[in-house]
Structure 1
Amino acid sequence: MTRYREIAAELAGRIGAGDLAEGAELPGVRELAQRFGTTASTIGRAVRALADAGVIVTADRRRTRVAPGGAVAARRFLHGERVFRLAGSDDPALDVVLRGLGRAVRSIGTEGSFGGLRAVRQGRADGAAVHLLHHSGRYNAPFACGLLRGLRPHLIHLWRREQGLLVPPGNPRGLASAADLAGLRVAKRRFGTGTRVLLDRLLRDAGREPDALAGPETGSHLETALSVAAGVVDAGLAVRSVAADLDLDFVPLVSEEYDVVLPGDALDAAAPLVATLLDPATRAAVTALGGYDASEAGKVEDLDA
């Protein structure tokens, strides 16, 4: 590694670790050159590399500060070659985000929320997209704390999203709640998915037996929408955005939190994902799909803190 890259990496490491906080001013070029025992031109190249990566900003020739979001950018600068292995729940908006990340994030299969958590616990995945309501009334965090105990569990917040009933145009059966599904053919997600857990909970809360509900199992929200649009089923539970894609009506039932669960040692690999989620253009693209609140997308929560 060339000397300027070594210096840039050391500074990025301090910023990524929080030793230099957002907005903190870096020492001047001459002082850094003395500290590192090198020339001002080498320091200048290191500073330019960090500025190009969004780690720092230079207000003028004399003052350089840690950029907003500099810690995330520093991790991306240091670990951009690492691949973040993501498992878990299916979501159309997440598909949009991942397409823009190229090889930085690799999906290892949409096994559902339960399967994703299992893959992280077993070390087959670095993170899992989940949307599970705990009996305490909180989403996702209790499952992360329980399954990743001792591994510094974190959440990367994605968005809040609406789930509800997909029905044919005009809602011909007048469905308003899960209680109205009795006697109908309903598309059901596979066991182990958060949406299947949600459907079963809504049915039980309405006094209905989930196992009595007839209908096929589907592998994704889009597949559920296709089943309704093709007349294979009378209704299905899915996110709002797929209703708009196929001109279906949507009956909103819940607003849920959708997050990525990961251990602390996977944060560096997740840096490109976090940086993309913080990008206003990404948040706008997610919101435009319909049924999403991405105002906290990219917020990282340390559950041990």
Structure 2
Amino acid sequence: ERSGMIAYPLLGDSGSVSRIMRSDGYISEFGNRSYLNTGETVQVTLFSDDVQLPDIIFIGSHDIAVEAIFRKLSVSVKVINVGSTGGVNAIRRKEADIAGVHILNPDSMRYNDFSLDPGIGEVAELVKGYTREQGILVRPGNPHKIRSLADIAASGATFVNRNPGSGTRIMIDSILSSAKIEPGQIKGFTYEVKTHYAVANAIWSGRTDAGIAIRQAAVMYGLDFISLGREEYDFLVLKESRDKLSGFLETLKSRWFRDVLSKNFSGYEAIKP
């Protein structure tokens, strides 16, 4: 029996096989409740007695370039993709060693601007990462002739949205607000998925007509891509975890990683040192 450990929920559909495969255990005693409160003490049944604590816990926005760095390092990593805001909150509570974030501040129009959040500055530091190209994904040939979110609303095309709290959703909401478009004007706005590749898959499979994701997702699924600009994908590093993340941070700034980005990931660019 182990005690004093933090259990973190994995988001996903009920009964999802992929979610079970990524989990270490389960909580069975809910009583008549449908949720648990943050900080509540629970008993977790592990799937195996061999479950080991990871060397590094990464919580935040999903990105496959991050996975390339972790594959190169000889450390065990637990990756929990919950979106940028979820990553910030996990760092604030010291539940993660590092978080991937791409949050657009609609007032300053700057990415990952935590200057007005002294609580984060006390426990973490921001490490610059790289940029990614974001845009609208549509099926080949762009049958609805979409060039903007306004076109999606006007054409009646269906849309796949991102989950609240994700950096992409924050960007979507900012674009709609600036263009004075009500969410209800976009058909399918309440259809939400949790990763860029889930957006691409929904369009590729014909479940919807358009969505916003990174260029790399469009390339992987053979979709057309209408660029909306570049975003900054950075890292919040827990100060007390800086030493254990030294290998990750060195690899992030290495020539090897810059070459990997340019050769293997469409729409990615390293930030010049």
Structure 1 length-normalised TM: 0.66
Is residue 160–residue 255 contact of structure 1 (8 Å, CA) maintained in 2? Answer: yes
Q: Provide Cα deviations, 1:144-181, integer angstroms capped at 9, x if missing partner.
A: 84341433x32222101110001111112111112111
2:236 maps to which of 253, 257, 261: 261
Is residue 134–residue 230 contact of structure 2 (8 Å, CA) maintained in 1? Answer: yes
Cα offset for 1:105? 3.7
Kindly tell me: are residues 242 and 198 of structure 1, through their superposed partners in 2, closer, same or farther at Cα, counting changes over 3 Å?
same
Cα offset for 1:92? 2.5
- What is the rounded CA distance, in whole Å, between the counterparts of 2:220 and 2:81 in structure 1? 21
- What is the rounded CA distance, in whole Å, between the counterparts of 2:243 and 2:127 in structure 1? 12
Aligned residue identity for 1:127: I
- What is the rounded CA distance, in whole Å, between the counterparts of 1:211 and 1:262 in structure 2? 38
2:177 is matched with which residue? Answer: 204
2:44 is matched with which residue? Answer: none
Give the unaligned 5+ runs of structure 2. Answer: 1-53
1:190 is matched with which residue? Answer: 163
1:42 is matched with which residue? Answer: none
Cα offset for 1:114? 0.7
Alignment of 1:1-305 (within 5 A): 83-107=55-79, 109-134=80-105, 135-142=107-114, 145-151=117-123, 153-182=124-153, 183-215=156-188, 216-288=191-263, 289-296=265-272
Aligned residue identity for 1:290: S
SS at match of 1:180: helix
Aligned residue identity for 1:114: T
- What is the rounded CA distance, in whole Å, between the counterparts of 1:144 and 1:240 in structure 2? 31
Kindly tell me: are residues 159 and 144 of structure 1, through their superposed partners in 2, closer, same or farther at Cα, counting changes over 3 Å?
farther
- What is the rounded CA distance, in whole Å, between the counterparts of 1:252 and 1:149 in structure 2? 33
- What is the rounded CA distance, in whole Å, between the counterparts of 1:292 and 1:259 in structure 2? 13
Q: Identity across aligned pairs (percent)?
A: 35
Runs of 4+ off more than 3 Å: 143-147
Query: Quick check: which has more Rg, 1 or 2?
Result: 1
- Aligned pair count reads 215
Cα offset for 1:106? 2.9
Give the unaligned 5+ runs of structure 1. Answer: 1-81, 300-305
Aligned residue identity for 1:94: V
**Structure with the higher fraction of residues in helix conformation:** 1
- What is the rounded CA distance, in whole Å, between the counterparts of 1:149 and 1:245 in structure 2? 37
SS at match of 1:162: strand
Structure 2 length-normalised TM: 0.73
Superposed CA RMSD? 2.1
